[in-house]
Structure 1
Amino acid sequence: MFSASEASTKAAPGRLPGALWGVLALLVISVAINYIDRGNLSIAAPLLKEELRISPAQLGLLLSSFFWTYSTFQIVSGWLVDRFDVNRVIAAGFLLWSAATAATGWIHSFEMLVVLRLVLGIGESVAYPCYSKILAGHFPEHHRGLANSLIDAGTKCGPALGTLAGGLLMARFGWRPFFVILGLGSLVWLPLWFRWMPRGQGAAARRAADAPGISDILRHRAAWATFGGHFCGNYFWYFLLTWLPFYLVRERHFSMREMASLGSLAYLVTAAATTAAGWLSDRAIAAGSAPSRVRKTCTGFGLGFATIILGVTAIPNETASLVLLLLACASYGVFASSHWAITQTLAGPLAAGKWTGLQNFVANLAGVAAPAITGFVVDSTGQFFWAFAVSAGVALAGAIIYTFGLGKVAPVEWAE
């Protein structure tokens, strides 16, 4: 049997070998589970708030606590995947975050819920550095665009499935059994990973000694532009991921079942837009369009048009409001199809892991900011309008950064 990296050299130039399709499928499944686990607390928020008698500000603190460790451990995780076997690092992280999810179902205090969210963040922090390491080391350049788009689609399909199944199951059985079953059931992924994980070091690892350091990356303006632009995009996304279920139930007065259906539809629209935009952008580049123009158009237009989300809370009509929500989600999906492709083009295989860790560290500080700021704004004003306005303003700032601050998207020439 060939290893995944060996198979990539034996397949026809235009085709992705079967072994790598298996690896990619497991990565997509893992990121879907990853996002279900990080978002399931927001689905349970309407029930959990009443049971534990916590305020909107406390709820915002609880929803943001995951990102305290998720963000701060990104750089550590980037070092781990460069230092140790990436296949075992992602397996260890998967085991840790699944255990934290299952344990949440048995917790009865606000303080212990915060602790388990911190543990969940540590486990999930390994995911994206591992994905970048695996894609850079085992996937040919001309297949990384599709691979990134499918992984990003998994981040949308996960919340869609979690919102639909979680909302329906919680409405029927309560929130605790859902956490226990999800955490323990996810462990089925681990033996499949050890069976199909890529073998060998991969192309990037063979030149690890030549890789640039963190200080080398931080000296480039493009790095700071990707950090800031991604932060803005993440603020928009984590605002939806953590507060949309609560908004639909408490502000729009939908039932838990209706919230589950509408919330999952929003995530599915985002996933479809991400996949379509990723495929179309790769086709445009293959046809001769400049990669810089294509990638910057996707990120700038996507975040810029996503600002229509402000109309969601400003329009009383439910149908029109939901149409705007879906359009805003689709626009975000266009952005999400290209932001990691930009990073991987700029960094190249040698720096993709460290650049990813640094970028995800900065970007996921938005996961701390968005839930907490939203909780504070809602608590202070008693309504969601200004929370939506802040999210739209941050998205617009991201569009400006990608359009005017990034510069040309081309591989960085690292010093020898």
Structure 2
Amino acid sequence: MTTTQQMKTPVAKRKGKSKFAVLALIFLSVVINYMDRTNISVAAQAISDDLELTKVQMGIIFSAFAWTYSIMQIPGGMLVDSVRIRILYPVILVAWSLATIVQGMVSSLAAVVGCRMAIGFFEAPSYPANNKIVTQWFGEHERAGAIAVYTSGQFIGLAFLMPVLAIIQQWFGWRGLFFISGGIGILWAGVWYLLYRDPVVDDEMHDTPDDALPTSSANAAEQAQQVPVTAHTQATASWSNIKIAFSSRKLWGIYIGQFCLGGTLIFFLTWFPTYLAEYRGLSELTTGFVASIPFLAAFFGVLLSGFVSDWLVRKGVSNEVARKAPIILGLLLSSSVIFANYVESTQWVTFFLSVTFFGNGLASINWVFVSLIAPKHMVGLVGGCFNFIGGLSAVTVPIAIGYLAKDGDFRPALVLVAALALIGLCSYIFLVGKVEQIQLPNLAVDSDSPSSDPSVKNQSEAAGGAQ
């Protein structure tokens, strides 16, 4: 064994440990992110009683987060492509955590709406940042698994947090719930800054840390696609590229799919506890524990989907099967929410809602399509557009459910959620088509690169023409 080979082995081991440590940081950040999004759903009934709010007004409060969250997705994606993640992440964490704390001090509808808008504004870059981190640290053949792990944070975290948040509210009231949630986020921002390193030269250390080395499990072609801060990523911050991001049929397929997937998710993140408490007549603490069961189902769904999908890719199965099949199956299962309208017992309601959210979990690896389909210099921007369209479901669906359930009947709302799941299924089948990266014919091509092959050039031209 040569000296070079002897040096590579421990470096590769350190790198392997580093990327999984990074994944753990993202996972915990997602848990905190969703805690601050959804604590409002736990507190909803108490806030409604205290501030004398109607269901339509509560729908507006549930929706307010997404007004700014959606609008800021594209600027947030640009920001992710321009600012070091080590700096950006703790800044936005502190900002949305402070807004969460202030939320516990207000006493009017307008003030609550304003706080929810502030939380959405500062959380907007978080998921484009998560996707960029995974794209930089993990090879394509293991990326869906990585995405599944951090996405599972929104499910497993809430599965355990729902009853905990309910207990905190019982002890400290709904205002205390927001104070404690916000304080946790501020503490975590400091931990993130101390532990995370960008996979580039660290300015403070004036050296390339072990964390910056290419993933040991990625092949050379994948490593070449993972170079983080380059002229390609800087090119994303232009309005001409925004036009590209909104002119591709494939990208619109995943955008619409994300909107429909978000329709199911936002029901569980906002109205679900109210549905259990008011329509199904469960107590506050019982609601907290019953609500955790579908979140556990979603957790297992997303992990199963991610790791099976990556395993199929490693076995040479096409992306159409390995990546699309879990999403299509998941969206089909999500439509089973409609069956909850035809059962009475809490056990059967919990079963169908768990199947629904398990399906939502299966489909939640859809972020992998951003890196698979987007032009490689536009991953951050396309991620922002993807989450912008998805965020619109969080703008519209809570208000729509508020109107549909204003008389206390949630059955029309469940019909809406089921219909969205079926529309998303059709979007992935008929709009996304073959899973392949969009090639822009006007980009320069190196003579040594694989895309200089005439057959690949023809595919690029065809993809460009299709836009």
TM range (shorter): over 0.9
Give how far 1:145 is off.
Answer: 1.6
Give how far 1:168 is off.
Answer: 1.9
Query: Where does residue 205 of structure 1 map in the other structure?
Result: 229
| 1:254 has 2:282 as partner | yes
Deviations 1:288-341 (A, max 9, x none): 21112222211111111211111113211221121111111111111113x111
* Structure 1 stretches lacking a partner, 5+ long: 1-6
| 1:305 has 2:333 as partner | yes
Q: State whether residues 35 and 158 of structure 2, in contact with CA within 8 Å, keep that contact through their aligned partners in structure 1.
A: yes
Q: State whether residues 99 and 183 of structure 1, in contact with CA within 8 Å, keep that contact through their aligned partners in structure 2.
A: yes
Selected match of 2:361 from 320, 330, 333: 333
Deviations 1:109-147 (A, max 9, x none): 111111111110111101012112222223333332221
Deviations 1:71-119 (A, max 9, x none): 0001111111222222212221111111111111111111111111111
Give how far 1:26 is off.
Answer: 0.9
Q: State whether residues 404 and 413 of structure 2, in contact with CA within 8 Å, keep that contact through their aligned partners in structure 1.
A: yes
Give how far 1:190 is off.
Answer: 1.8
Q: State whether residues 70 and 125 of structure 1, in contact with CA within 8 Å, keep that contact through their aligned partners in structure 2.
A: yes
Give how far 1:410 is off.
Answer: 1.3
Give how far 1:210 is off.
Answer: 5.7
Q: Measure, in 2, the Cα distance between the counterparts of 1:123 and 1:105.
A: 17
**Aligned-pair identity (%):** 28
Q: Measure, in 1, the Cα distance between the counterparts of 2:228 and 2:376.
A: 5
Indicate the SS of the match to 1:108: coil
Selected match of 2:425 from 399, 406, 409: 399
1:61 to 1:10, Cα distance in 2 relative to 1, 3 A: same
Query: Where does residue 414 of structure 2 map in the other structure?
Result: 388
Q: State whether residues 90 and 190 of structure 2, in contact with CA within 8 Å, keep that contact through their aligned partners in structure 1.
A: no
92-101 vs 80-89, which deviates more? Answer: 80-89
Give how far 1:268 is off.
Answer: 1.5
Whichever residue aligns with residue 431 of structure 2, its letter is G
Structure (1 or 2) with the larger CA radius of gyration: 2
Query: Where does residue 20 of structure 2 map in the other structure?
Result: 21
Indicate the SS of the match to 1:205: coil
Query: Where does residue 3 of structure 1 map in the other structure?
Result: none
Within 5 Å, give how 1:141-156 maps onto structure 2.
141-156=140-155
179-188 vs 165-174, which deviates more? Answer: 165-174
Within 5 Å, give how 1:218-297 maps onto structure 2.
218-297=246-325
Give how far 1:188 is off.
Answer: 1.8
Q: Measure, in 1, the Cα distance between the counterparts of 2:354 and 2:335.
A: 12
Whichever residue aligns with residue 217 of structure 1, its letter is A
Aligned residues: 406
Q: State whether residues 91 and 190 of structure 1, in contact with CA within 8 Å, keep that contact through their aligned partners in structure 2.
A: yes
Give how far 1:158 is off.
Answer: 2.9
Query: Where does residue 123 of structure 2 map in the other structure?
Result: 124
Selected match of 2:394 from 355, 364, 367: 367
Indicate the SS of the match to 2:323: helix
Indicate the SS of the match to 1:174: helix
Q: Measure, in 2, the Cα distance between the counterparts of 1:297 and 1:179.
A: 39
* Structure 2 stretches lacking a partner, 5+ long: 1-7, 201-225, 444-467
1:359 to 1:9, Cα distance in 2 relative to 1, 3 A: farther
Give how far 1:252 is off.
Answer: 0.8
Whichever residue aligns with residue 58 of structure 1, its letter is Q
1:151 to 1:115, Cα distance in 2 relative to 1, 3 A: same
Deviations 1:263-293 (A, max 9, x none): 1121111011110111111111211211122
Q: What CA RMSD, in Å, does the superposition of the two structures yield over aligned residues?
A: 1.9
| 1:350 has 2:349 as partner | no
Q: Measure, in 2, the Cα distance between the counterparts of 1:85 and 1:325.
A: 40
Q: State whether residues 27 and 153 of structure 2, in contact with CA within 8 Å, keep that contact through their aligned partners in structure 1.
A: yes
1:136 to 1:350, Cα distance in 2 relative to 1, 3 A: farther
Q: Measure, in 1, the Cα distance between the counterparts of 2:9 and 2:52.
A: 54
TM normalised by structure 2 equals 0.83
Q: Measure, in 1, the Cα distance between the counterparts of 2:400 and 2:342.
A: 19
Q: Measure, in 1, the Cα distance between the counterparts of 2:83 and 2:359.
A: 38
Whichever residue aligns with residue 204 of structure 1, its letter is P
Deviations 1:341-366 (A, max 9, x none): 12211125422111000010011100
Q: State whether residues 270 and 398 of structure 2, in contact with CA within 8 Å, keep that contact through their aligned partners in structure 1.
A: yes
1:346 to 1:317, Cα distance in 2 relative to 1, 3 A: same
Whichever residue aligns with residue 53 of structure 1, its letter is E
